[in-house]
A and B are shown apart, each in its own frame.
Chain A
Amino acid sequence: MADADLALVLTGGACLALRLAGLLLAGRLRADHPFIAWAASVAQATLAAFVTLAVVAPSGALAALPLQARLTGLAVGIAAFFALRQRLLPALLIGLAALLLVR
């Protein structure tokens, strides 16, 4: 098996294990249990950290875009999201358009 395929299979298996572990771990806990609230908080914080890093200090193809363009795209996208009563798709397109204008 090629390295790329092996890496893919191992990652997919580990991700499935994480998901199953989460579902099993929650077991019989109710939605208002503190452990559930903590887990939701960690999930949100991880996502927020991911986006922050992707915008402020990215690697790979994202790093080829100037910081100013990435910040503008994010700020305009979020502003549009709230101005348009939380409509996702137009906000995404407006944010991307702003990125391209500043790029």
Chain B
Amino acid sequence: MWLGAFSGARAALAAPAIAMAATFIAFGTAVREAGLSAGWALAAAWGIYGMPGQLIVLQAVATGGGIAAAVMGAVAVNSRFLPMAVALSPWLRRRERDPLPLLAAPFVSITPWAAAMRALPGEPVPARLPWFLGFALTSWLLGGGAAVAGHMLAGGFPAPVRDALVFANPLYFALLMAADLTRPGPRRGLIAGALAAPLALLLPPAWGLLCAGLLGGSIAFLIGRARG
């Protein structure tokens, strides 16, 4: 068991963690600029642990958009956690009615999810949950630390570094997905989602992304079924 956890933790301490840390540094910087504390940055990084949602709460709070708008927008943009958890669940169970995978709940997020969906099928069943927890806890701790570091360093970055940090998050997400472009199933979902994105511009911001994802994802799923 410990071996699985260790191997997961070691897998987390690689490129994905550094790339993810860059996006959390950018988040910490933005929190400081909004006049909120380092504690708030840490609580958001650990409690929400999903960058698009974190950014939306921050933006809504900083511009006085109101609590309801902040929460609804952030939850809608992070609503992918539900289908992600569904897709991950079978890989974390060791037997029928296994309650332990619920321990993984706080860590279901893009970095651990993308890594786990690729690595877990190749791991022996008893090692899968420890692997995921080892990976997820490591990147979760790193993300929180990077957010606090970003808060402390805010203002000290020259303009090019700030611009690069701001763009690091979407580019990081894009590269995590690019790895999936070589597999037909995920590729269909990704292309359909990108094509459905304009729909989000027509709908209220809080729900647009969710609707685009549901529509694009369902169409991709149906096409996949039709092709067998």
A contact residues vs B (CB 8 Å cutoff): 3-12, 14-16, 18-31, 33-62, 64-65, 70, 73-74, 77-78, 81-82, 86-89, 91-92, 95-96, 99-100, 103
Which 7 A/B pairs are nearest by Cβ-Cβ distance? Answer: A22-B85, A46-B213, A45-B193, A48-B193, A42-B217, A12-B47, A44-B189
Partner of B170, one of A19, A23, A24, A62: A62
Chain B residues near A45 (CB, 8 Å)? 189-190, 192-193, 196, 212-217, 220
Question: Do the beta carbons of A9 and B47 come within 8 Å of each other?
Answer: yes
Of A35, A48, A103, the contact of B163 (CB 8 Å cutoff): A103
B19 contacts A89, CB within 8 Å? Answer: yes
Q: Check A18 against B81 for contact (C-beta < 8 Å).
A: yes
CB distance from A39 to the nearest CB of B (A): 4
Chain B nearest CB: distance from A78 CB in Å? 5
B108→A40 contact, CB < 8 A: no
Q: A19-B82, A62-B166 are in contact. Are A3 and B196 (CB under 8 A)?
A: no
Residues of A within 8 A of B87 (CB): 26, 36, 39-40, 43
Q: Give the docked Cα–Cα distance between A27 and B99 (Å).
A: 10
Given contacts A19-B81, A86-B179, A99-B163, contact A57 B201 (CB under 8 A): yes
Number of interface residues of B (CB under 8 A): 100
- Which residue on chain B has the smallest CB distance to residue A20? B105
Q: Is the interface of B mostly helix, strand, loop or mixed?
A: helix
In the complex the two chains form, what is the Cα distance from A96 to B161 in whole Å? Answer: 9
Q: Is B30 an interface residue (CB 8 A)?
A: yes
Q: Does B221 contact A (CB under 8 A)?
A: yes
Residues of B within 8 A of A39 (CB): 82-84, 86-87
Rounded to whole angstroms, the CA-CA distance of A7 and B102 in the bound complex is 25
Nearest B residue to A99, CB-CB: B167
Taking A48-B192, A89-B18 as given, write out 9 further A-B residue pairs in contact, using a Cβ cutoff of 8 Å, ordered by the A residue number: A8-B44, A11-B47, A11-B57, A15-B49, A33-B90, A34-B225, A40-B117, A51-B174, A53-B200
A89 to chain B, nearest CB (A): 4
Q: In the bound complex, do residue B209 and residue A50 qualify as a contact, i.e. CB atoms below 8 Å apart?
A: yes
| Known contacts A50-B52, A95-B171, A7 near B71 by CB under 8 Å | yes
Partner of B194, one of A35, A52, A103: A52
B71 contacts A49, CB within 8 Å?
no
- With both chains docked as a complex, state the minimum distance between the C-beta of B112 and any C-beta of chain A, in angstroms: 11
A15 proximity list for chain B (CB < 8 A): 47-50, 53, 74-75, 78, 81
Choose one: A14, A19, A87; the contact of B108 (CB below 8 Å): A19
User: CA A65 – CA B169 in complex, angstroms?
Assistant: 14
